[in-house]
């Protein structure tokens, strides 16, 4: 849907050719580009399941593309004239054409006019992330712009905390650092009441540990060592306990460096450092066989 919205703007307002469908299958309606039918199915699902459309990214995108289709003449005028300031179409056009300076100026002007300047750094940080990911559709940025323009954006700290830990676990330090900047900026602007002081320490510790793993590597042969086993962790839990519980929190006094060293040898165990009310705790997570190498962990925090 995001790509379709992008294509409409890139093509100067050419609408996608749709095939009408009467079947009550959302994926089929989207595949046929029958977005009106898709929105009807989505609304019925939300009603039956008591889903708030403001919390559903899919609902927001379906509403957005239907609004574009319903107002395509206006959209075409905006694209042709490029005169209406601070419009969503201008922002999309600048962004997809790589005109970052023009995009930044337009975004700054729009946010100031609508009293939303507090979101400027958030959007620009998402532009950085999409650029690093080589996402030519700028999916993260486009979704955020859609929510802000439609006045449906509510800053959810837990979502960005999850993204921070997820990229940290994957050793994507450049992206994790940007999410950390987003969290610290959000805290400074009172977007949420979650403590973020310890996140910087966790990030720096992870980066430092990664550097140690690759420092001093030479072509010289070194004696092989016996690989660690789960029992070498010397914790009051067995591997069966971890498999059963999926996640275990270790005691406060564990040697974090030693735990990392042992877990590095274990194929089915992941190690995480999390911040709970300013205190760094160590978590172990059991990695399912079909799980990717970079395991993410989501924490619901009050």
pTM for the full model?
0.47
Residues 90, 96, 100, 104: what is their CA dihedral angle, to the nearest 10 degrees? 40
pLDDT winner (highest mean) among 176-185, 210-219, 249-258:
176-185
**More confident: 237 or 214:** 237
Q: Sheet containing 279-286: give its strands across.
A: 247-249, 279-286, 269-276
Q: What would the mean pLDDT of 108-134 be, rounded to a whole number?
A: 90
Band (pLDDT 50/70/90 cuts) for residue 80 is low
Task: Give the position of tokens 């974090």.
Answer: 256
Q: Is residue 106 within 8 Å of residue 91, measured between CB atoms?
A: yes
């Amino acid at each position: 849907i995001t790509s379709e919205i992008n294509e409409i703007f890139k093509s100067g307002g050419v609408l996608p050719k749709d095939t009408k469908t009467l079947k009550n299958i959302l994926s089929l309606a989207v595949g046929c580009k029958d977005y009106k039918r898709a929105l009807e199915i989505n609304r019925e699902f939300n009603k039956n399941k008591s889903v708030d459309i403001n919390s559903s990214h899919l609902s927001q995108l379906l509403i957005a593309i239907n609004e574009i289709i319903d107002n395509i003449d206006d959209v075409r005028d905006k694209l042709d004239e490029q005169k209406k300031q601070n419009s969503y179409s201008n922002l999309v056009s600048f962004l997809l054409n790589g005109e970052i300076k023009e995009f930044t100026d337009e975004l700054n002007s729009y946010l100031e006019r609508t009293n939303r300047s507090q979101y400027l750094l958030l959007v620009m940080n998402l532009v950085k992330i999409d650029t690093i990911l080589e996402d030519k559709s700028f999916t993260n940025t486009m979704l955020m712009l859609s929510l802000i323009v439609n006045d449906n954006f509510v800053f959810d700290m837990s979502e960005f905390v999850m993204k921070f830990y997820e990229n940290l676990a994957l050793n994507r330090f450049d992206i994790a650092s940007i999410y950390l900047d987003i969290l610290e900026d959000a805290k400074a602007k009172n977007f949420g009441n979650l403590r973020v002081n310890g996140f910087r320490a966790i990030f720096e510790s992870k980066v430092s540990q990664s550097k140690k793993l690759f420092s001093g590597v030479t072509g010289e042969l070194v004696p092989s060592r016996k690989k660690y086993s789960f029992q070498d962790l010397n914790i009051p839990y067995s591997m069966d306990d971890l498999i059963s519980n999926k996640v275990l929190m270790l005691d406060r006094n564990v040697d974090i460096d030693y735990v990392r060293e042992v877990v590095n040898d274990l194929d089915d165990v992941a190690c995480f450092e999390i911040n709970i009310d300013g205190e760094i705790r160590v978590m172990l997570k059991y990695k399912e066989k079909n799980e990717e190498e970079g395991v993410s962990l989501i924490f619901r925090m009050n």
